[in-house]
Chain A
Amino acid sequence: MTPLTAPQLQFLLTGFVWTVVLSSLAFAGGGLMGFGVAIARVYGPTVTRQLVMLYIKLIQGTPLLVLLSLAYFGLPAMGFDIKPLTAAGLGLSVYVSAYLGEIWRGCIESVPRTQAEAAECLALNWGQRLVHVILPQAARIATPPTVGFMVQIVKNTSLASAIGFVELARAGQVINNSTFQPFVIFVLIAALYFSLCYPLSVLSRRLERRLNVADR
């Protein structure tokens, strides 16, 4: 068994960096959209609420791989010029928005109703109630599951390899095609993912204990 050469290692590390970049992109994009989803689900008019519910059901009932394929193969067919990074970022953001939206909806709804009523009695308008009363409390509840979900995001970026985006999993495949040592390479890849995800898992568990406000 020959160890990896320096260029191969560098290629792998570049893939690692792209995995981190793509994860951040998906988290940021998905987070923004997810916030909209959560707000619309809690405060929107009935029609909006039902439409958003339909969106969530559709996204959650479709595999991420199909979403990514739709973005990467579908959008160019419809006349958009799209790069793998854009397609991957878009597909992942849509996917993440459905899940984070539902998580955050639960968190917003778990803030006691009396808090909103008290704020209303203080003559705060809807925006003020949301920003100064509801969201700060919801954020505390939301932090552990959000950090936990980041593990899912990091793991799911591996599927971007299927649409030709060279991140960690794809880099591993490419190197494997020249070294033919799948066991070594893919265990190494798994270890790299683990090094990203495990700290997040531990952090999520620790936060859950420390920020345990839901049943205080």
Chain B
Amino acid sequence: MKYDFDFSAPLAYWPDFVAAAGTTLGLSLASTVFGFLLGVLCALASTGRSAWLARLSSVYVETIRNTPLLVQIFIVYFGLASIGLKVDAFAAATAALVINVGAYTSEIVRAGIESIPKGQLEAAECLGLSRAQVLTHVVLPPAIERVYPALTSQYVLLMLASSITSQISAEELTAVANRIQSDTFRSVETYLIVAAAYLVLSLVMRLGFWCASYIAFPRRRRLGTPL
């Protein structure tokens, strides 16, 4: 088999690639932030005292974890439009990714919360901290610090999964690649470039998370070790 690689045609579109990579990164960051908040809330609900909230949260988590992201995106984008709620592709993509990653975050953070020794909670109670104070000062910081590597991997996977939003014409990296490969007829080269771009993006995200951990977890900075 002989095949002449010619990267010049797709590479001529480099401004498009860069813009699309920016879109992918923006989409991932927005989904990361909101997905994290949603996930922490669900984790708190599933470990909290209200059995009703815990059940609600577990129904959400199980439903999302056992259905494909593609179908979730379709439900948000086409489904909401059909009941009169018109959302643009980018908003729908973000919403679907947030709903999706929230479920995974919830399971990870729950594991972190359950790893906090009971004695610490009792000690906090003895100090007269309110329940909100216990959560924000005693439970959540070490819990999240413990599961931070798992969270990082999950959000890198989320960034890769954001390629699926190309299916609802959100103009991110994969969608742009589809357009460019049909323009240039250089599909192998185009997708190799895109694969490389995703690799770079995942490295960038890992680096970003690593830097963020140094700001977020002063203990790690001081001791050089995780909790």
Contacts and interface: CB of A to CB of B under 8 A. Distances in A.
A189 B174 contact: no
Contact of A74 (B75, B174, B191, B199): B191
B82 interface: yes
Contacts of B63: 190, 194
A193 interface: yes
B8 interface: no
A90 to B, nearest CB: 14
A182 interface: yes
A65 B174 contact: yes
B1 interface: yes
Contacts of B188: 70, 73-74, 77-78
Interface centre among A65, A79, A158 (most CB of B within 10 A): A65
A158 B68 contact: yes
A69 B194 CA distance: 11
Contact of A73 (B69, B167, B187): B187
Interface in B182-197: 185-188, 191-192, 194-195
Majority DSSP secondary structure for residues of B touching A: helix
A187 B75 contact: yes
Interface residues of A, number: 43
Interface centre among B66, B181, B199 (most CB of A within 10 A): B66
Interface in B175-227: 177-178, 181, 185-188, 191-192, 194-195, 198-199, 202-203
A66 B177 contact: yes
Contacts, number: 133
B211 to A, nearest CB: 19
Nearest to B63: A194
A194 B178 contact: no
Nearest to A76: B187
Nearest to A201: B66
A169 B70 contact: yes
Interface in B111-152: none
9 contacts: A58-B195, A62-B195, A63-B198, A66-B174, A69-B177, A73-B191, A78-B3, A172-B71, A193-B71
Interface of A: 57-58, 61-67, 69-70, 73-74, 77-80, 151, 154-159, 161-162, 169, 172-173, 176, 180-183, 186-187, 189-190, 193-194, 197-198, 201
